[in-house]
Amino acid sequence: MIGISNGFDGLIDGTFRALGARDVGGILPHGGTILQTRRSERFFKPEHRQAARHQAQTAGIDALVVIGGEGSMRGAHALAGLGMRVMVVPASIDNDMVGTDVSIGVDTALNTIVDAVDKLRDTASSHTRCFLVETMGRGCGYLAVVAGVVCGAEMVLVPEIESSVSEVLDAIRDAHRRGKSNAIIIVAEGAGTRIGELLKAIEETDVGFHARASRLGHIQRGGSPTAFDRMLAARLGRKAVDALLAGESDALVGLSGRTIETVPVRDIIDRQREPSLEYFEMVKVLAR
């Protein structure tokens, strides 16, 4: 087993090192990666992809397990086009990948959000306030919408569904009218309406609560992995190796209900995840 540092840049540059069983001793409880990673600009160019392919061949790497999100999958797919055997393990807190119910990191990020919002609610309740909480997720509202359900939010704003500022004002006003001591609005970073705009609108209208904004930011990307994420990673990792040994390539290993299955990358590469309308509605039902 060989570990490649610095993502695709490391593949181009040949920053390889042997990885034995003892080299991963003690890393289980830690967030992040011991291999280091980075976004590779060079890898977008064919000549660098060829160089990467060549480096791998020279080092005797006969199959590649790529752990990452959308961009990593595209990179892996390009290498498969150059004849390299690859398997993608979906890891991205955005949960924007098709082909798996959930990616590695999502559950840990959600628990960090829950913990943060529970803390914000302490202040919100004590001061009878509304909090606008921005979660990550790029173009995907999954993190926000699940956060909305599990944090007891009044409403969720996501990129996939249009919501007006006045709907948000109504939701907060309703919470106040129903006697709530606080109101939480979850806003996905990619949502059409931004927290700054909402904050301004709330201050200009009488909705019963004063508002504060909190951008959770990068704390969502770290932390000791939860039980769910460790189990998912173990299962996906094992399947990735088994699938490669069984001759499969250019596929993603994903969670499909109860089982881990492989999906050809070509079937998912240009598809976008469906928004979770069921959960979006559930937030409104639970807020009552």
- Residues 114-117: contacts with CB within 8 Å, 24+ apart? 114/147, 114/150, 114/151, 116/214, 116/216, 116/219, 117/147, 117/151, 117/153, 117/184, 117/186
Could you say which of 218, 246, 270, 274 contacts its own copies (CB under 8 A)?
218
Q: Which is nearer to its own copies, 53 or 180 (CB)?
A: 180
Q: Of these, 42, 85, 138, 235, which contacts its own copies (CB under 8 A)?
A: 235
Pairing outcome for strands 2-4 and 16-18: antiparallel
Positions 109 through 168 that interact with its own copies (CB under 8 A): 110-114, 116, 118-123, 125-128, 131, 146-147, 149-152
Binding mask 43-82 for its own copies (x = CB under 8 A): ----------------------------------------
Per CB under 8 A, the segment of 79-87, 155-163, 191-199, 229-237 that binds its own copies is 229-237
DSSP β-bridge partners for residue 252: 88, 263
Q: Which of residues 178-197 bind its own copies (CB under 8 A)?
A: 178-181
Measured between alpha carbons, how far is 251 from 262 in angstroms, rounded to an integer? 6
Residue of 9, 23, 62, 94 with catalytic role:
94
Contact pick of 1, 57, 81, 101 for its own copies (by CB under 8 A): 101
What letter would DSSP give residue 43? G
Q: Is residue 245 a contact residue for its own copies (CB under 8 A)?
A: no
Closest separation in Å from C-beta 101 to its own copies: 6
Over 210-276, what HEC string results? EEEEEECHHHHHCCCCCHHHHHHHHHHHHHHHHHHHCCCCCEEEEEECCEEEEEEHHHCCCCCCCCC
Tell how far CA 132 is from the center of its chain: 20
Is residue 23 among the annotated active site residues? Answer: no
What one-letter code names the amino acid at 197?
A: E
- Three-state DSSP class for residue 203: helix
Residues annotated as part of the active site: 94
Binding site for its own copies (CB under 8 A): 21-22, 25-26, 28-33, 36-38, 101, 107, 110-114, 116, 118-123, 125-128, 131, 146-147, 149-152, 178-181, 212-219, 221-224, 226-228, 230-231, 234-235, 238, 256-258, 282, 285-286, 288
